[in-house]
Structure formats: structure tokens, C-alpha cells
């Protein structure tokens, strides 16, 4: 262990900010005027520091093996500095490995298992999420049209950005796949006059949105169903479909089937907006240095990220044509830091919403998750893409003239003006 400590001391001296370690026996190592102090309770944590396994260090923190004094932003600077290399570098895998990955992905995403995995995350505590999300509880990347926007303003800008891309019109049938706490569903209904249907696998979200529908008097025009996307009725097609922060839960092996299902739910010439997190690397199945395992264990069991090139391939194989692709990666970094800062500012209140030892573990996990993801988006290890698509062309020659059965005008002015 003395050799491990020696390696750690060498690393501390090279860090971009002063750090101090307080050992189990009270010994102090590092800088006395540190910006970050780690109180070590289990010496095994030192080995993870020495090797830069930041995901494993996250697990150590959740399990109470060390405590932190200092800001999460500074802690993430420390994490980046000790990484042994890029967490998205991965060698190309052989056919057998790829087959195994595919089989595992299929196994992880049965209808029953997906419901349990979604409820594990989203049904943690509505009161907890309400502490650090905006008032609409929009739990996805915001859109900062100006640098001085608050996260609440940027979330409303994002909701409108999606509605404008979809060219929502009064009376259209609109489907929101994975509707969360209803932010987009209700915005589209109230501001664009659509007939809106949302689905979720979260019991908490289902109850919350149905209560809002009642309070706003939107019964008959807006509905929220507790339903898996695979069970959606294809008999009455929708004019427009949005899927926000949902397809990450589908699984890579299911993407072609997922997009094919959405295509079958859409009328000819209708539009789909798929908004979701994508991988920064082409070949890596998850972030390295233990970060992927941390997310799987504590935050999003069953979550799988795919590079945008593979997403577009799956969309094409599912019968869709991409029309507009926008990367919002910097917007998500800012969104996540806003969430992280908000949570850090209300830790005592957060503990009241997550009582007991298990609640403390969840709180520690979310502190790491929000700040760690903000770091990941800042460094381009993960990204966020909005892809606007339609069913593949029927071979018409007058599409640029915008015939009545085509929703897309083939010019971007309507999105950005």
C-alpha cells in the first residue's frame, strides 16, 4: 500500500488544482490549502486514485468509502486530470464480440425488464427531482438561445424548438414517446393546439401528468398512458411524433425495430423528431475508466448509447429519411451543470426527500452522475442529437414545391427564423 500511496502523492503534485487526502489514521497528504479534500475511509480507494478509475471512485463515494469537501466542478477537474486516457477510445471489436453485445442488448430490453429499469430511475422521488429541475420538470437537454438564459427559460426554448421543427399545426394528432413529466406534451397542446398523446413506463410520471391534464382542463385533447412503445396501436396514424430522451433506453439491438415502429405510427409525409444522447466514440460500447459501469449500476440500468452514424443507419433501416441533424452537445453540458449546481445548493432538502441509508446512496450517486455527465458533454465523450425525419420518399418529383401531403418544406428557414 505504501507504493500505491507514493504513486498517489506523485499524481497529487501534478494536478491542476490543490488536493488534500485525509487518511483513515488521520495522516494528511497533499496541499494544506486544498480546493478539494477527500477523507479516505477505505484504503482500497487509493488504488483507484492511482489508476485513474474514476467510475470506480464514483462507486467508492456512493458506498461511503470516502467523503468530499469542495465543489463538484473542481472534483470533475480532478477526475479529468487523473484519467489514464480517453474514455471513448476503443478497439474495433470482432464479429463474435459484436454478436454477444447484440444478444445481451436483446436480453436486457424485454417489455417487463424495460418497465422495471425505467421505474428504477424515474420513480425514485418526484419531490427529489422537483428540487433541481425547472418548474416544468423537463428532464432533458435545454436550448440556450442566449447565453444569459436561465435553465427554465432554456427548457421552454427547447420545447418550442422541437415544436417548430415538427411544424405542429392546430388539430394535428401528436405523439410524445417517453413523455416524462409532460413538459413537451402540454406545451404542444397549449401553444400549438394539437391533439396530444403521451406514453411513459414511469408510474409517478403517469400520475403527475394526468393530474396536470385535469388541472388545466385538457381532458379529451391530451392523454397520458402507462404504455410500452411496442404496444402502441398503429390503426390511427399520427401526424407528428416526438421522442425525447427515450431511445437511449431502447437498446442498440432494438433500434431498427424501434424506428420501424415509429414509422408505422406516422402518416405518409408526417414528421418524427428523435432527441437523445449519443456516444462520442464510434466503437466504444460505453464510457471507459469504469464510468459506464457506474451509470449502469446506480442511474440508468439498461441504458445504451450509440454513435450518431449508427443511429442514422438504424433510422434508414427502419424506413425513415433524415431531414435535419443538430448536435446540442454544449447545450447539454450547460444544462447538466445547472442541474448539478441546483442540487448542490439544496443538499439538506434533498436528503429529506431520500431518507435512510439507501436514500443517502442515491443522493451521492446523483451528485456524481450530474457533474460527471456535465464533464462528459464538455469533453465530447457523449453528445446530444436532434434528428428530424420522415418516412422514406415515395418518389415524387414535386417535393420542393411542398405538396399538401408533405410536412417538410425542404428549407430550414422555418426552424431558425
- Which residue would you say has higher pLDDT here, 404 or 11? 11
The residues near 221 (Cβ < 8 Å, ≥ 6 apart) are 189, 195, 196
Averaged pLDDT of the chain: 88
Owner of C-alpha cell 406514453: 199
- Which residue would you say has higher pLDDT here, 102 or 213? 213
Is the pLDDT score of 282 beyond 90? no
pLDDT value at position 4? 80
- Confidence bin at 299 (pLDDT 50/70/90): confident
pLDDT value at position 372? 93
pLDDT value at position 398? 67
Is the pLDDT score of 286 beyond 60? yes
Give the pLDDT confidence of 219-258 residue by residue, as tens digits: 999 999 999 999 999 999 999 999 999 888 888 888 999 9
Q: Could you please report the per-residue DSSP string of 2-63? A: HHHHHHHHHHHHTSSS-EEEE-TTS-EEE-TT-SEEEEES-THHHHHHHHT-HHHHHHHHHT
Closest by CA position to 245, among listed 212, 278, 205: 278
Rounded to whole angstroms, the Cα distance separating 224 from 139 reads: 17
Q: Could you please report the per-residue DSSP string of 194-223? A: -EEEEEES-HHHHHHHHHHHHHTT-TTTEE
Rounded to whole angstroms, the Cα distance separating 194 from 313 reads: 31
CB contact at 8 A, 197 and 225: yes
Q: What is the mean pLDDT of residues 292-320?
A: 88
Rounded to whole angstroms, the Cα distance separating 132 from 350 reads: 9
pLDDT value at position 385? 97
Give the pLDDT confidence of 46-93 residue by residue, as tens digits: 889 888 888 899 999 999 999 999 999 999 999 999 888 787 775 454
Each as own residue / partner, the long-range contacts of residues 17-21 (CB below 8 Å, 24 or more positions apart, any chain) are 17/74, 17/77, 17/78, 19/78
As a whole-number percent, the residues of the chain with pLDDT over 70 amount to 87
Q: What is the mean pLDDT of residues 11-25?
A: 88
Give the pLDDT confidence of 125-156 residue by residue, as tens digits: 899 999 999 999 999 999 999 999 999 999 99
Give the pLDDT confidence of 330-347 residue by residue, as tens digits: 999 999 999 999 999 999
Rounded to whole angstroms, the Cα distance separating 121 from 117 reads: 7
pTM reported for the whole predicted model? 0.88
Cβ burial, residue 152 (10 Å; 0-12/13-18/19+): middle
How long is the chain?
417
Q: Which of 141, 163, 346, 373 is catalytic?
A: 373
CB contact at 8 A, 48 and 279: no
- Confidence bin at 96 (pLDDT 50/70/90): very low
Q: What is the mean pLDDT of residues 101-114?
A: 55
Rounded to whole angstroms, the Cα distance separating 368 from 388 reads: 32
Is the pLDDT score of 395 beyond 70? no
Q: For 357, list phi and psi in degrees, rounded to 5.
A: -65, -40
- Confidence bin at 103 (pLDDT 50/70/90): very low
Is the pLDDT score of 100 beyond 50? no
Give the pLDDT confidence of 366-392 residue by residue, as tens digits: 999 999 999 999 999 999 999 999 998
Q: Which domains does the chain have, with CATH numbers?
A: 2-82 (3.30.1050.10), 99-416 (3.40.50.150)
In the residue annotation, 373 being an active-site residue is answered as yes
pLDDT value at position 93? 47
Give the pLDDT confidence of 151-207 residue by residue, as tens digits: 999 999 999 999 999 999 999 999 999 999 999 999 999 999 999 999 999 999 999
Task: Say which range, 9-18, 91-100, 236-245, 261-270, has the weakest mean pLDDT.
Answer: 91-100
Amino acid at each position: 500500500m505504501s507504493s500505491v500511496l507514493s504513486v498517489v502523492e506523485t499524481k497529487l503534485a501534478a494536478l491542476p488544482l490543490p488536493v488534500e487526502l485525509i487518511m483513515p489514521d488521520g495522516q494528511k497528504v497533499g496541499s494544506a490549502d486544498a480546493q478539494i479534500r477527500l477523507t479516505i475511509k477505505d484504503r482500497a480507494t487509493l488504488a483507484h486514485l492511482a489508476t485513474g478509475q474514476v467510475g470506480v471512485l464514483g462507486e467508492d463515494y456512493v458506498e461511503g468509502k470516502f467523503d468530499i469537501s469542495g465543489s463538484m466542478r473542481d472534483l470533475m477537474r480532478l477526475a479529468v486530470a487523473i484519467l489514464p486516457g480517453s474514455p471513448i477510445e476503443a478497439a474495433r471489436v470482432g464479429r463474435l464480440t459484436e454478436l454477444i453485445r447484440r444478444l445481451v442488448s436483446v436480453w436486457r430490453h424485454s417489455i417487463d425488464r424495460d418497465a422495471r429499469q425505467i421505474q428504477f430511475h424515474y420513480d425514485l422521488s418526484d419531490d427529489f427531482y422537483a428540487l433541481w429541475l425547472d418548474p416544468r420538470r423537463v428532464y432533458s437537454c435545454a436550448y440556450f438561445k442566449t447565453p444569459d438564459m436561465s435553465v427554465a427559460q432554456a427548457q421552454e426554448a427547447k420545447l418550442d424548438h422541437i415544436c417548430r421543427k415538427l411544424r405542429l399545426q392546430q388539430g394535428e394528432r401528436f405523439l410524445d414517446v417517453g413523455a416524462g413529466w409532460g413538459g413537451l406534451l402540454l406545451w404542444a397542446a397549449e401553444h400549438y393546439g394539437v391533439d396530444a398523446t403521451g406514453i411513459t413506463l414511469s408510474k409517478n410520471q403517469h400520475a403527475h401528468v394526468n393530474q396536470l391534464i385535469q388541472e388545466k382542463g385538457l381532458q379529451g385533447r391530451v392523454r397520458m398512458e402507462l404504455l410500452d412503445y411496442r404496444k402502441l396501436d398503429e390503426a390511427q396514424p399520427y401526424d407528428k411524433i416526438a421522442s425525447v430522451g427515450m431511445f437511449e433506453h431502447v437498446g442498440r439491438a432494438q433500434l431498427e425495430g424501434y424506428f420501424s415502429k415509429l414509422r408505422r405510427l406516422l402518416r405518409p409525409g408526417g414528421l418524427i423528431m428523435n432527441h437523445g444522447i449519443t456516444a462520442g466514440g464510434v466503437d466504444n460500447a460505453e464510457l471507459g475508466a469504469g464510468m459506464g459501469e457506474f451509470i449502469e449500476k446506480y442511474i440508468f440500468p439498461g441504458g445504451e448509447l450509440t454513435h450518431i452514424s449508427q443511429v442514422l443507419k438504424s433510422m434508414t433501416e427502419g424506413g425513415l429519411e433524415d431531414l435535419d441533424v443538430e448536435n446540442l452537445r454544449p447545450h447539454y453540458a450547460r444544462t447538466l451543470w445547472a442541474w448539478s449546481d441546483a442540487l448542490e445548493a439544496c443538499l439538506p432538502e434533498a436528503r429529506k426527500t431520500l431518507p435512510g441509508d439507501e436514500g443517502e446512496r442515491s443522493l451521492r450517486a446523483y451528485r456524481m452522475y450530474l457533474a460527471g455527465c456535465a464533464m462528459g458533454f464538455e469533453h465530447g465523450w457523449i453528445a446530444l442529437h436532434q434528428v428530424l425525419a420522415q418516412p422514406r420518399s415515395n418518389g415524387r418529383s414535386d417535393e420542393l414545391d411542398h405538396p399538401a401531403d408533405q410536412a417538410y418544406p425542404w428549407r430550414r428557414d422555418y426552424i431558425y427564423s
